[in-house]
């Protein structure tokens, strides 16, 4: 794989093609609603966005079409086809609703779609539907998974870690392991949008979850990645330095970043009206693709440049030996303090401490949480 210089180009471009969605998920950063915004980028503007993504040069970034629910756009196959023909690899994150039919997936595959990522936030219908706040979402998600597998498209499952989902994490790992997955993407809550009302786990619990995921990655045939928890890399480095006995990572790694991707650093987000932000969880608009300046914004904007500078970080992240390879979640720092360069409060690491093996095994059994299915929604 060619090396990507994150100063010049992101590894991932995420485009929120719409904010419309029929679900009302408790953690939704987008505060998605069941109607489209008339200000969304048009099909033609979408094509021009794809042209700008291509302007980053080779190797081209991966393009992820997200929402809201991207299935609300009737021109989705056209957008996928245009991007694929331009040389981009395109992935899709549809919501778990009946809008995702086998026929539409077939059209998208024919247009060149490379991967489908669905969200599963509970190991059974009760827990998942309570999180998504729509009955039947679990059943719809399983139908989508079935079609994706049947069509031979690579499958990714996204799951959220929060106080609410933590008690079922081990069951979730077993459930996703029943599918022929390419990647399990585990998202660590950022308290923004509707997610602001969800309770966060503690930094100590996060450390145990990261240890659990690292152990799991050596036993399962799929890749595991964390989103908004770059300290996963720090934990893996610590374990290596401590000489803890570890097997090889078994999971397939297609479409994986060559090194840690962080907000604005290997990663750029374009919202539904074209605003260019370092992440969907870090809503600092630094430009707009309607001005045709996606590449310049990513490369030259002051905030983007500072987000790629480990010496711009504050607090523990600023003093940390791992700041270049980790850097902490900038989105979480912003959500917690209003300062995107503050320390990541979900990291338990104390810079300069003696490197020692990190306790691992099972995710923690939280004392305060009842099972999700018994909690009010
Ligand atoms: S202190 Fe910050 S940079 Fe260091 S490991 Fe934790 S999150 Fe990463």
Q: Per-residue pLDDT for 250 more than 80?
A: no
Cβ 144 vs Cβ 157: under 8 Å? no
Binned at pLDDT 50, 70 and 90, residue 242 comes out as confident
Determine the atom of ligand 1 nearest the C-alpha atom of 327. 3
298: closest CA among 268, 323, 325, 263? Answer: 268
**What's 74's DSSP letter?**
T
Cβ 335 vs Cβ 281: under 8 Å? yes
Q: What is the pTM of this model?
A: 0.89
Cβ 92 vs Cβ 129: under 8 Å? no
Q: Copy the structure tokens of residue 58.
A: 């080779």
With vertex at residue 21, the alpha carbon angle to CA 20 and CA 25, rounded to the nearest 5 degrees, is 130
Q: Give the rounded percent of residues in the chain with a pLDDT score beyond 90.
A: 75
Rounded to the nearest angstrom, the distance between the alpha carbon of 38 and the centre of ligand 1 is 41
Q: Per-residue pLDDT for 116 more than 50?
A: yes
333: closest CA among 191, 164, 165, 207? Answer: 191
Q: What is the CA radius of gyration of the chain?
A: 20
Among 214-223, 283-292, 365-374, which is the least confidently predicted range?
365-374
C-alpha 49/C-alpha 290 separation (Å) is: 8
* Average pLDDT taken over every residue of the chain: 88
Binned at pLDDT 50, 70 and 90, residue 369 comes out as very low
What would the mean pLDDT of 127-142 be, rounded to a whole number? Answer: 88
Determine the atom of ligand 1 nearest the C-alpha atom of 320. 4
pLDDT in tens, 52-106: 999 999 999 999 999 989 999 999 999 999 999 999 999 999 998 889 999 999 9
Q: Copy the structure tokens of residue 117.
A: 């990522």
- Report CA 12 to chain centroid distance, whole Å: 10
Query: Mutate which of 228, 308, 320 to test ligand 1's pocket (most atoms within 8 Å of Cβ)?
Result: 320
Q: Per-residue pLDDT for 377 more than 70?
A: no
* Torsion, Cα of 142, 147, 149, 155 (10° steps): -70
pLDDT in tens, 23-34: 666 666 666 677
The residues, ordered by sequence, that sit 6+ positions from 38 with a Cβ below 8 Å of its Cβ are: none
Rounded to the nearest angstrom, the distance between the alpha carbon of 331 and the centre of ligand 1 is 13
Rounded to the nearest angstrom, the distance between the alpha carbon of 64 and the centre of ligand 1 is 27
Determine the atom of ligand 1 nearest the C-alpha atom of 346. 7
Pocket of ligand 1 (CB under 6 A): 231, 234, 316-317, 320, 322-323, 326-328, 343-344, 347, 349
Q: Copy the structure tokens of residue 131.
A: 């999180």
| C-alpha to C-alpha distances, 280 to 56, 58, 66, 262, nearest whole angstrom | 20, 24, 10, 12
Query: Mutate which of 332, 349, 358 to test ligand 1's pocket (most atoms within 8 Å of Cβ)?
Result: 349
Say what the pLDDT of residue 24 is: 65
Q: Give the rounded percent of residues in the chain with a pLDDT score beyond 70.
A: 85
Other Cβ atoms closer than 10 A to 205: 20
Q: Per-residue pLDDT for 121 more than 70?
A: yes
Collapsing DSSP states into helix, strand and coil, what is residue 270?
A: strand
Q: Copy the structure tokens of residue 209.
A: 């979850």
Say what the pLDDT of residue 131 is: 81
C-alpha 79/C-alpha 47 separation (Å) is: 7
What would the mean pLDDT of 154-179 be, rounded to a whole number? Answer: 96
Say what the pLDDT of residue 359 is: 46
C-alpha 118/C-alpha 257 separation (Å) is: 19
Say what the pLDDT of residue 260 is: 78
Rounded to the nearest angstrom, the distance between the alpha carbon of 350 and the centre of ligand 1 is 8
Rounded to the nearest angstrom, the distance between the alpha carbon of 181 and the centre of ligand 1 is 29
C-alpha 342/C-alpha 348 separation (Å) is: 14
More confident residue, 33 or 367: 33
C-alpha 236/C-alpha 82 separation (Å) is: 39
Query: Mutate which of 234, 239, 358 to test ligand 1's pocket (most atoms within 8 Å of Cβ)?
Result: 234
Supply the DSSP string of 235-268, one letter for each residue. HHHHHHHTT-------S--TT--SS--BTTBSEE
Query: Mutate which of 327, 342, 352 to test ligand 1's pocket (most atoms within 8 Å of Cβ)?
Result: 327
Q: Per-residue pLDDT for 352 more than 60?
A: yes
61: closest CA among 93, 5, 120, 13? Answer: 13
Binned at pLDDT 50, 70 and 90, residue 245 comes out as low
Binned at pLDDT 50, 70 and 90, residue 241 comes out as confident
Supply the DSSP string of 139-202, one letter for each residue. HHHHHHHHHHHHTT--EEEEEEESTTTGGGHHHHHHHHTTS--SEEEEEEP---GGGGGSPPPP
- Asked if the bond preceding 59 is cis, omega within 30° of 0, the reply is yes
Cβ 69 vs Cβ 95: under 8 Å? yes
Say what the pLDDT of residue 135 is: 86
Binned at pLDDT 50, 70 and 90, residue 361 comes out as very low
**Which residue is closest in CA terms to ligand 1's atom 2?**
317
Cβ 189 vs Cβ 227: under 8 Å? no
Rounded to the nearest angstrom, the distance between the alpha carbon of 360 and the centre of ligand 1 is 19
pLDDT in tens, 190-234: 998 766 778 899 999 999 999 999 999 999 999 999 999 999 999
**Where do we find the tokens 């060149």?**
112
What would the mean pLDDT of 137-157 be, rounded to a whole number? Answer: 96
**b vs e for 11-33, b when ≥16 Cβ sit within 10 Å of the residue's Cβ?**
bbbbbbbbbbbbbebbbbbbebe
Rounded to the nearest angstrom, the distance between the alpha carbon of 313 and the centre of ligand 1 is 10
Query: Mutate which of 236, 322, 330 to test ligand 1's pocket (most atoms within 8 Å of Cβ)?
Result: 322
**Which residue is closest in CA terms to ligand 1's atom 1?**
317
């Amino acid at each position: 794989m060619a090396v990507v210089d994150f100063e010049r180009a992101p590894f991932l471009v995420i485009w929120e093609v719409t904010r419309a969605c029929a679900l009302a998920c408790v953690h939704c950063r987008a505060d998605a609603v069941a109607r489209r915004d008339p200000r969304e980028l048009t099909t033609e503007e979408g094509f021009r966005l794809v042209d700008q993504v291509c302007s980053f040069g080779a190797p081209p970034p991966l393009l992820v079409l997200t929402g809201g629910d991207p299935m609300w756009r009737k021109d989705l196959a056209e957008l996928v086809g245009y991007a694929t023909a331009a040389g981009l690899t395109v992935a899709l994150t549809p919501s778990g609703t009946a809008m995702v039919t086998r026929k539409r997936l077939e059209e998208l595959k024919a247009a060149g779609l490379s991967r489908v990522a669905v969200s599963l936030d509970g190991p059974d219908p009760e827990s998942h539907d309570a999180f998504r706040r729509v009955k039947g979402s679990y059943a719809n998600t399983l139908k989508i998974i079935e079609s994706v597998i049947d069509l031979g498209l690579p499958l990714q499952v996204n799951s959220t870690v929060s106080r609410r989902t933590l008690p079922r994490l081990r069951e979730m790992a077993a459930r996703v392991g029943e599918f022929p997955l390419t990647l399990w993407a585990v998202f660590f809550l950022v308290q923004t949008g509707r997610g602001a009302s969800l309770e966060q786990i503690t930094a100590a619990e996060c450390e145990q979850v990261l240890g659990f995921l690292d152990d799991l990655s050596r036993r399962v045939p799929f890749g595991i990645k964390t989103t908004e928890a770059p300290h996963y890399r720090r934990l893996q480095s610590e374990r290596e330095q401590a000489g803890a006995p570890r097997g090889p990572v078994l999971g397939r790694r297609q479409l994986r970043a060559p090194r840690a991707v962080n907000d604005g650093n290997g990663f750029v987000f374009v919202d539904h009206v074209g605003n260019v932000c370092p992440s969907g969880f870090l809503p600092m608009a630094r430009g707009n693709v309607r001005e045709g300046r996606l590449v310049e914004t990513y490369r030259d904007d002051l905030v983007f440049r500072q987000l790629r500078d480990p010496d711009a970080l504050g607090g523990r992240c600023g003093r940390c030996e791992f700041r270049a390879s980790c850097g902490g979640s900038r989105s979480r720092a912003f959500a917690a303090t209003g300062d995107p360069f503050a320390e990541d409060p979900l990291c338990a690491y104390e810079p300069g401490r003696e490197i020692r093996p990190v306790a691992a095994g099972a995710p923690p059994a939280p004392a305060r949480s009842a099972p999700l299915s018994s909690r009010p929604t």
